[in-house]
Amino acid sequence: MRLSEVEENKRVVITKVLGHGSFRRRISEMGFVAGKEVMVLKNAPLYDPVEYQLLGYNVSLRRAEAFLIEVITTEEAINSAPPNFDGIIDLEVLKISAREKGKTIHVALAGNPNCGKTTLFNRVTNSKEHVGNYSGVTIDSKIATFQRKGYTFKLVDLPGTYSLTTFSPEELYTRNYIIEQTPDIVLNVIDAANLERNMFLSTQLIDMDIKVVMALNMYDDLETGGAKLDAKKLGELLGIPFIPTIASKGIGLDAVFDEIIEVYEDRNPVVRHIHINYGEELEKSIKAIQKEIKQDKPIRAKLSSRYLALRLLDKDPDALETLKSSTNFSRINTITQNEIARLKARLNEESSHLITDAKFGFIAGALQETFVPGIQWRYAITGKIDKLVTHRILGFPIFLFFMFVTFFATFRLGSYPMNWINMGVAVISDFVKTTMPSGMFKDLLTDGIINGLGSIIVFLPNILILFFFTSLMEDTGYMARAAFIMDKLMHKIGLHGRSFIPMVMGFGCNVPAIMATRTIRNRGDRLLTMLIIPFMSCSARLPVYIVLISAFFKDYPAVVLTGLYLLGILMAIVMAKILNRTLFRRKETPFVMELPPYRMPVLRNTLLHMWDKASQYFKKIGGTILVAVVIIWALEYFPHSEEIHTQGKVNAIANATPDWHAQSQIEHSYLGIIGHTIEPLIRPLGFDWRMGICLVAGIPAKEIVVSTMGVLYETGKDDTKTRELLPEVLKSEVYYSGPKMGEKVFNQAVALSFLVFVLLYFPCIAVIATIKRESGSWKWALFTLFYTSVFAWTMAFIIYNIALYFINP
């Protein structure tokens, strides 16, 4: 609870004081320190300020200042007391509760992309956040708690950012979190092998006058190159403790959090606030603006006046917005503009450039005294590899080769466990069929749940293998190169390489990929990227691909699967080109993206990522897909009349087709009615009514397409001890009535058409909801629903008719 929220005549005890350094120093000098009792006396007539009694004297604070003081009330102490506590909450008990609550340390992780920040977060908290070796992986903050030495740590992993300006959404998010949530400590994780660039963010944290601890991560890279750093001396110069770490191996992390405790408890003698010297002229401007800002005390409670002055001179529009509520805003703005003009006239340079130059000068000076550079072997090796993988001619073939190897392994390695799982499903199915009495519940278990879910579960190994290889490419740094070599192509459609990263993420799942577009600054670029991401073939479509490719293209599965993924990219490019010339006419955005050094992936992180995806897959199977399978089965089972069943048996005997009676039941069910209703729309694509049902069922989640196939095409098949895989069932499926009676339902042309339709049509409900949330409008979500379906029908029609000329049905 905050002191500003306490009612009149209430007695509380302070647990901690938040805000920046100068505010904390001033407020502590008044007696507002942890463990002290405060009595709320009365509010001013206009409800602000508030009068308090502290240490035997009365003092008034504005609500904005009181908000930065955490307290514990009697009610909170009672709630936090042990269940068997039956004593009275007196002042001493309240102080004990305050001490316990004060042992919760809120730590925010901040750092550049690729500095190992999320690896540190995962290692310390045993979390499973994905670590990608490119910018923009952590889109929102991730939170975890853990215990150490009697303290509770609330650890928050903020987005990776190079600075705290407003250049990108992640920079603004990180800065606003630090300002608004006022963490007790900011743990600044920096790449030890690239100190000069990483410490630019550190200088901005110094300006904010907050408590900071530095983690010199990947310290082994610095030492391997022969460099030497006096971390202790550097910490003394900057007033911030520096701790060497190797987060991927867990080295140095205990020392980091021990140091955080020391800094939190104000026991570290090194910690002090320093002012970065920006030069005589800039310092004059800072003091002039700072003097005027100090007139408004509530603004200064959360933010250092010096920091605000620097942000104004850096032409930060968000700083102006922060100060708009100040009574002297117009005066502050006038002084700022005058000082910017004075600096330009005096030094012939923009004030923002002067600030940046001064920061890098400060960093260079600190490193000059403490750092002896070595050979940056990691960057040397990276340069040699990049000469090959980003080569103007060889870059694309290498990219295609990696994709081909990924898909080849997905099929070849995945086929073995897929058969094992299928055998297990067959054993369960045979057991239920032989032990349970006939009836509707048995039909639900065998034809619905076991056939439906079993058709999905068998493809789990393939999906895990796909995620394993994509994780390797991300963790090594190759995905950033893929974005680099795709930049020219993206540029031609009005986007840039940064848009390619969310598109690549779409191969896993379109939902986080659409959320990743937040890192794209331009709204037009962001919307356009959102609209074409559904063409990226997500893992939910993979079971459909595997079923049909295994059945009809088993001689060259990797070629067909690679072709599907490339077709999705090509269709995204075509659609982007169309939209760019119609709905999104605007200026091009420059491509700025880091190419991080190559790193050896950590097996532990890769396996955690795979398990995380597997658990999500199982949750989906046990939730959305299970419900959908039961609904599909019910629509297929009802109306269930003896007349239909008997007639089906008669036709089965007459035509010597044992499963005709089951197909007759499906055809006359509610599901059959739906299928026959939409059949005229999909017949030009080579689809029958059952394929139409599968496509409609796939609207909630694309995996349901396969489970629906399992219900529709496997129902009524002969009981065997060796359950056939769905691909074998589809190969033998024939029409049971109509002009095509006796002909095969599927052939290569139909399979290709179906694959293309599944690739391009209506994204799942979760994707539509995410587009609505991220774009802020149903307009774009409904537009995506409509245009992808039309585009899918058109392309499937073209592919089907072309395939008929070249493929023998």
DSSP state of 60: E
Question: Cα–Cα distances in Å, from 501 out to 526, 565, 723, 759, 780?
Answer: 12, 15, 41, 19, 21
Q: CB burial class (10 A; 0-12, 13-18, 19+) of residue 612?
A: middle
Count CB-CB contacts under 10 A for residue 400. 12
Residue 443 pLDDT > 50: yes
Highest mean predicted confidence (pLDDT) among 2-6, 162-166, 678-682: 678-682
Helices (H), 583-697: 603-620, 626-637, 642-654, 660-667, 670-682, 689-697
CA gap 77, 95 in Å, rounded: 9
pLDDT band at 88 (very low <50, low <70, confident <90, very high): very low
Q: Which of 71-75, 370-374, 382-386, 612-616 has the lowest mean pLDDT?
A: 612-616
**Between residues 489 and 2, which one has the greater pLDDT?**
2
pTM of the model: 0.64
Question: Cα–Cα distances in Å, from 514 out to 172, 501, 764, 767?
Answer: 19, 10, 13, 8
Q: Which of 312-321, 361-370, 655-664, 796-805 has the lowest mean pLDDT?
A: 655-664
Residue 290 pLDDT > 50: yes
Q: Which of 93-102, 113-122, 471-480 has the lowest mean pLDDT?
A: 93-102
Q: In what order do the strands lie in the sheet with 57-61?
A: 57-61, 50-54, 37-43, 11-17, 69-72
What is the pLDDT, as a whole number, of residue 621?
Answer: 63
CA gap 289, 294 in Å, rounded: 9
pLDDT band at 189 (very low <50, low <70, confident <90, very high): very high
| Pick from 305, 360, 293, 299: nearest CA to 333 | 293
E strand or H helix that includes residue 244? strand 242-244
Highest mean predicted confidence (pLDDT) among 76-90, 293-307, 420-434, 700-714: 420-434
Residue 716 pLDDT > 60: no
Question: Cα–Cα distances in Å, from 131 out to 162, 431, 485, 726?
Answer: 17, 43, 22, 36
What is the pLDDT, as a whole number, of residue 97?
Answer: 54
What is the pLDDT, as a whole number, of residue 25?
Answer: 74
Q: Residue 228 corresponds to which tokens in the numbers above?
A: 């030497």
Q: CB burial class (10 A; 0-12, 13-18, 19+) of residue 59?
A: middle
Residue type, 434: T
Residue 620 pLDDT > 90: no
What is the pLDDT, as a whole number, of residue 102?
Answer: 65
| Pick from 714, 703, 729, 721: nearest CA to 446 | 714
| Pick from 476, 516, 515: nearest CA to 606 | 476
On average, the pLDDT of the chain sits at: 79
Residue 571 pLDDT > 70: yes
pLDDT digits (tens, 9 = 90+) for 674-710: 888 998 999 999 998 889 888 888 877 787 788 778 7
User: Per-residue pLDDT averaged across 789-800, rounded?
Assistant: 93
Residue 538 pLDDT > 70: yes
Q: CB burial class (10 A; 0-12, 13-18, 19+) of residue 171?
A: buried
Q: Which of 188-202, 334-348, 515-529, 665-679 has the lowest mean pLDDT?
A: 515-529
pLDDT digits (tens, 9 = 90+) for 349-402: 889 889 988 998 899 889 988 998 876 656 667 778 888 888 878 888 888 888
Q: Residue 109 corresponds to which tokens in the numbers above?
A: 């992780």
